[in-house]
């Protein structure tokens, strides 16, 4: 799902970085993967000597992977494995032309496949590779793992608040906003704001247009800010600080975000649905979700969890998180991911 964090900041950072391949406990390699008109930035950080890699498929479309590269993750995951922060086409610090004809879900799955092949070429074909899809990244990872020829390329999948079925997602967002608003929102200090959300949900009941889908998402983001139980984070500050730390060109980040926001690609996503194909998934799967995620409600995670055929699967709900569990409950995230990777690598 789309999440806009940025304030306009025109700052050019160096785009020319020497490509290196490092096998150590503290690697930091940057390279670009070229595919179908896009030049996609990849940052590999952490313990590449472990031969264990987690490839992050970020949210969006149009956002970036650097927001997940926190100090906590660096200290509690990157010592055990290598984190791969991939910026999708027309997202983050990736470059190339607008490529409107190639901004399609099938192309992004092809991009992911090529990134995996490049990683294995650089760091070894026998690497233990896991995918971690968050939000919109959950859709890309669902499209990937439901193809048998792709699923065998990885050891397991980590789904964090990911959307695999947009029509269902919109319906569950409306349902959660309405249910939570009527039960708790009207009795909170934000009652007047909840009333506006409730009335919108009562007027819009299904078969959502793109405009309605985007409005539901906007209300979902606002609803999360109204819940006191959620651990709050400074998203804008996090984005800006880590983009600078990772030496990402902020002009590219801004242009990519604005372009993807208005792209016709969103019309394709409106009807994207992989629920019926999830039975093909047999690899180990870890599902992590925020209890107060209105953007991708927990019921969406349950639909994913119960439809996959994997014998080795686990679902964990964070009691203090909304849509950004990776940042809102870092301790739980790192603990569960570490245990999962250790068990199945």
Using one digit for the tens of pLDDT, what is the confidence trace for 286-328?
999 999 999 999 999 999 999 999 999 999 999 999 999 999 9
Q: pTM for this structure? A: 0.88
CA atoms within 13 A on the CB side of 234: 6
What are 158's strand-pairing partners? 132, 286
Distance in angstroms (rounded) separating the CA atoms of residues 138 and 321: 17
Distance in angstroms (rounded) separating the CA atoms of residues 310 and 313: 6
Q: Where are the domains of the chain?
A: 27-165+232-344, 169-226
Q: What is the pLDDT of residue 187?
A: 85
Class of CATH domain 27-165+232-344: alpha beta
CA distances from 46 to 18, 53, 84, 298, 300 (A): 18, 9, 9, 31, 32
Q: What is the pLDDT of residue 10?
A: 29
- pLDDT tens-digit readout, 43-101: 999 999 999 999 999 998 888 898 899 999 999 999 999 999 999 998 888 886 656 67
Q: Is the pLDDT of residue 344 over 90?
A: yes
- pLDDT tens-digit readout, 195-237: 999 999 999 999 999 999 999 999 999 999 999 888 777 665 6
* Residues 78 and 18: beta-carbon distance below 8 Å: no
Distance in angstroms (rounded) separating the CA atoms of residues 83 and 55: 6
Distance in angstroms (rounded) separating the CA atoms of residues 197 and 174: 9
Q: What is the pLDDT of residue 270?
A: 94
- pLDDT tens-digit readout, 259-272: 556 578 888 999 99
- pLDDT tens-digit readout, 138-188: 999 999 999 888 899 999 999 999 999 999 999 999 999 999 999 988 888
Question: With bands split at pLDDT 50, 70 and 90, how would you rate the model's confidence at 7?
Answer: very low
| Token output for 83 | 């984190």
Mean pLDDT of 185-196: 89
């Amino acid at each position: 799902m789309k999440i806009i964090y940025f304030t306009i900041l025109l700052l050019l950072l160096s785009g020319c970085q020497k490509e290196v391949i490092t096998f150590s406990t503290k690697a930091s390699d940057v390279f670009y993967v070229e595919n179908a008109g896009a030049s996609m930035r990849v940052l590999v950080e952490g313990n590449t000597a472990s031969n264990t890699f987690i490839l992050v498929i970020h949210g969006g479309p149009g956002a970036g992977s650097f927001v997940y590269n926190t100090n906590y993750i660096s200290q509690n995951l990157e010592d055990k494995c290598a984190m791969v922060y991939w910026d999708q086409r027309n997202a983050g610090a990736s470059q190339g032309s607008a490529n409107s004809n190639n901004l399609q879900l099938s192309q992004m799955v092809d991009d992911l496949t090529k990134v995996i092949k490049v990683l294995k070429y650089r760091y070894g074909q026998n690497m233990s590779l896991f995918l971690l899809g968050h939000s919109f990244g959950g859709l890309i990872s669902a499209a990937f793992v439901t193809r048998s020829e792709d699923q065998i390329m990885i050891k397991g999948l980590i789904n964090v608040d990911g959307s695999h079925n947009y029509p269902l997602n919109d319906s569950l967002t409306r349902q959660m906003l309405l249910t939570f608003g009527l039960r708790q929102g009207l009795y909170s200090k934000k009652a007047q704001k909840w009333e506006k959300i409730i009335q919108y949900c009562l007027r819009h009941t299904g078969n959502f247009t793109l405009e309605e889908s985007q409005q539901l998402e906007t209300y979902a983001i606002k609803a999360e800010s109204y819940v006191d139980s959620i651990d709050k984070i400074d998203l804008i500050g996090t984005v800006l600080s880590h983009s600078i730390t990772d030496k990402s060109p902020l002009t590219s980040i801004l242009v990519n975000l604005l372009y993807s926001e208005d792209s016709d690609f969103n019309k394709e996503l409106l009807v994207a649905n992989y629920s019926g194909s999830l039975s093909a998934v047999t690899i180990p799967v870890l599902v992590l979700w925020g209890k107060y995620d209105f953007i991708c409600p927990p019921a969406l995670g349950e639909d994913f969890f119960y439809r996959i055929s994997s014998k080795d699967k686990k679902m964990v709900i964070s009691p203090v998180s909304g849509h950004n569990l990776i940042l809102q409950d870092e301790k739980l995230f790192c603990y569960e991911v570490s245990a999962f990777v250790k068990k199945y690598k």
